[in-house]
Chain A
Amino acid sequence: MTPPAEILRLRDVTRGFAEASGLHLALRRVNLTVAEGEFLVITGPSGSGKTTLLHLAALLDRPTSGRIWFDGRDTSVLGDDELSVLRKHELAMIFQNYVLLPYRSVLENVIFRFRYLEHDRTEAVALARQALSRLGLMGLEGRPARRLSAGEMQRVAIARAIVRPPRLLAADEPTGNLDRASTNVIMEHLAGLHRSGITILLVTHNEDLLSYATRHVVCRDGTVEE
């Protein structure tokens, strides 16, 4: 049997941030390989570098040193525009703080996933309605995002990420603001996406979610342990 193709590889990745007290290293010489179709859960205490790792994996950030390969391509040699193309077509991100457009409706927020893609508006609306339905948000399509509860905002953010299934989905605490029932709905949905072949990287504090993982890594003081 052929082993699954590698979608992401981090080699000796270090990420530092300039602070008043000097350079703070959020990640130190991290090595991590993710195979296509994996459901990788990343846990670890606050400040251990989980979100930094997720941003690097989602090509939203560049390492201070080391290299990242996505789908076999060395991203260190890619320009901003080329990285944008990869993010547009191959990746999706669920943010911990939702990042919704407050003056737009729920439906418009979900359709915003297509903002920088060539798309058919009617088809996009239909896909958005399906995603909202799956996440139990039907009936809220016309409501401005600023008038939603935290849990509803989280689900809209998830709907936006999955309305057009990516190859790699990076989720930063996607159930952080949800109750147990809603968490289960979301996780079942992510598990369904995983079963359809999507690679998922999920950062969480919730140990209960490890049951969905095909692999688990822990971040500690900027390092990653299997």
Chain B
Amino acid sequence: MKTGATGLGAALRDIRDGLRSRAGRTALSFFAMVVGFASLTTLLAVLGGLEDRSERIVKELGINVAGILSRKTAEKKGEPGLEERHRTVLALNFPDCLFSSVRRFDVPMTGRDDSLTVIATDGDLARVRQWRLVDGRFLDSRDVEDRRRVAVVSRPLSGRWNWKTGDIIELRGALFRIAGIIEAGSEGLEAEMKASAWMFGELVVFVPRTLGSLWLEEWDGPRPPVDAIFMSVPPSRDFGRTVEAGRRLLSQPDMRAGTLSWVLPDALRAGVKELRRTIAWTGGSVSALCLILGGMTLMSLMIANVRDRVAEIGLRRSLGARPRDIASLFFLEGELTAGAAAVAAGLLVHLLILLGGASTPFPLKLGATTALVPLITAVVLAAAFSYGPARAAARITPSEALRYE
């Protein structure tokens, strides 16, 4: 088979020779770039994770859903807070909207390492929050009115403890029959947003709200009667205006609702977006600095390589290499070094995230972006920092090169 100047094998042998001639410096440059690309890959994973979290948070809250939260300290300070009557008032004023009120109790489980979140609520919560029923049914108005000891469990909880519809379970000494299993949509968010009053985590049991005050409060202390009211606005209504009208209604003095927090999808998105922007600037600056340093070590390597291989350049020119053949030799060396560093950094970061990503303080997401962007950056970076040395090598005349030694 005929091969020639463009043969891949010959080009790779040329590059290998170049890199071997300065093994220590090549290794230094390689590792400097690995650091840069690792920081870039990590940054992209964090930004991707935050973007993902933003979408999941909004999905968790529900589309066109607003959460109205009582301040946690309201009752301790003797301030008024949310009550069931506020839900009734809202429902009367916005008859085409759906409302649901909840009280949240964190219940440690005897004999198990886990603790549960028990949500005392009405029969509308699943519809308001747009959760999908996996099996059985959600709570209904009869359960609430008759104070039946029935419970609905989240799918992760059902999976973890092998609970099925119809099973009898014990919660703090009381027996409950499981009426259904629900996809509560909060998987994976528990660790990240544990403190949030509107996000219940993975291990959740829903019970009729009429049971709560008799059964759960004894170990949870005095609090406002309702932790949160959720409001689902139909698509036919303007979401913003409806929320604003609800806000005005509850802020009237005779409502005595106290200071309320309104959780809205746009506000949640904006919060995460702000965090992403902050991380993008700070993390991006660090990555950029690392990459520039890596690029400079690459340039230093290339300059040293050109200087060390002047005689070889002369030999190549005497054998018929054109100036662009010489330039491409050093250019490809730079590209290969940077590309290998990007691949190594990508593999390292992906492996570390897969092994220990769950224990990091930030959500992390791996995907095409974390795989491809560092590679593209490597191509651009190597082009930028190899161009000068490659051009300098191409401009060395054969005679000048052969006289060099």
Contacts and interface: CB of A to CB of B under 8 A. Distances in A.
Contact of B316 (A81, A116, A117, A120): A116
A28 B399 CA distance: 18
Interface of A: 51-52, 55, 58, 60-62, 80-81, 84-85, 87-89, 91, 93, 95, 97, 99, 101-104, 108, 112-113, 115-121
Nearest to B397: A61
- Closest 5 CB pairs between A and B? A88-B320, A61-B399, A116-B320, A60-B398, A118-B4
Interface string B234-260: 000000000000000000000000000
B321 interface: yes
B318 A118 contact: no
B320 A118 contact: no
Contact of A101 (B5, B10, B17, B320): B17
A84 B321 contact: yes
A108 to B, nearest CB: 8
A99 B2 contact: no
Contacts of A61: 397-399
Given A60-B317, A113-B319, A121 B1 contact: yes
B21 A103 contact: yes
B325 interface: yes
A93 B397 CA distance: 15
27 contacts: A55-B399, A55-B402, A58-B318, A60-B318, A60-B402, A61-B399, A80-B323, A81-B322, A84-B322, A85-B320, A87-B319, A95-B318, A99-B314, A99-B402, A115-B10, A116-B316, A116-B321, A117-B5, A117-B320, A118-B2, A118-B3, A118-B4, A119-B2, A119-B3, A120-B2, A121-B1, A121-B3
Contacts of A102: 21
Contacts of B316: 115-116
Contacts of B405: 97
Contacts of A115: 5, 10, 316, 319, 321
Interface in B1-50: 1-5, 10, 13, 16-17, 20-21
Per DSSP, chain A at the interface is mixed
A95 B402 contact: yes
B383 interface: no
B312 A99 contact: yes
Given A99-B311, A103-B17, 9 more contacts: A81-B322, A87-B317, A91-B318, A99-B314, A99-B402, A104-B17, A115-B5, A115-B316, A116-B4
Contacts of B216: none
A89 B319 CA distance: 9
A88 B325 CA distance: 13
A130 B5 CA distance: 23
Interface string B382-403: 0000000000000001110011
A88 B316 CA distance: 10
B315 interface: yes
Contact of A99 (B16, B315, B321): B315
A113 B312 CA distance: 13
B396 to A, nearest CB: 12
A116 B318 contact: no
Which of B2, B21, B319 has most A Cβ within 10 Å? B319
A91 B320 CA distance: 9
Nearest to A87: B320
A116 B311 contact: no
A87 B319 CA distance: 6
Which of A80, A95, A115, A121 has most B Cβ within 10 Å? A115
A38 B319 CA distance: 22
B317 A84 contact: yes
Which of A60, A87, A104 has most B Cβ within 10 Å? A60
A81 B4 CA distance: 16
Contacts of A103: 16-17, 20-21
B10 A80 contact: no
A62 B397 CA distance: 9
Contacts of A101: 17, 312, 315
Contact of B399 (A60, A81, A117): A60
Nearest to B9: A121
A84 B320 CA distance: 4
Interface string B41-62: 0000000000000000000000
Contacts of B403: 51
Contacts of A51: 403
B11 to A, nearest CB: 10
Contacts of B17: 101, 103-104
Contacts of A91: 318
Contacts of A121: 1, 3
A149 to B, nearest CB: 18
A56 B390 CA distance: 25
Contacts of A80: 322-323
B233 to A, nearest CB: 72
Nearest to A90: B320
Contacts of A58: 318
Contacts of B402: 55, 60, 95, 99
A51 B3 CA distance: 33
Interface in B311-337: 311-312, 314-323, 325
Contacts of B20: 103
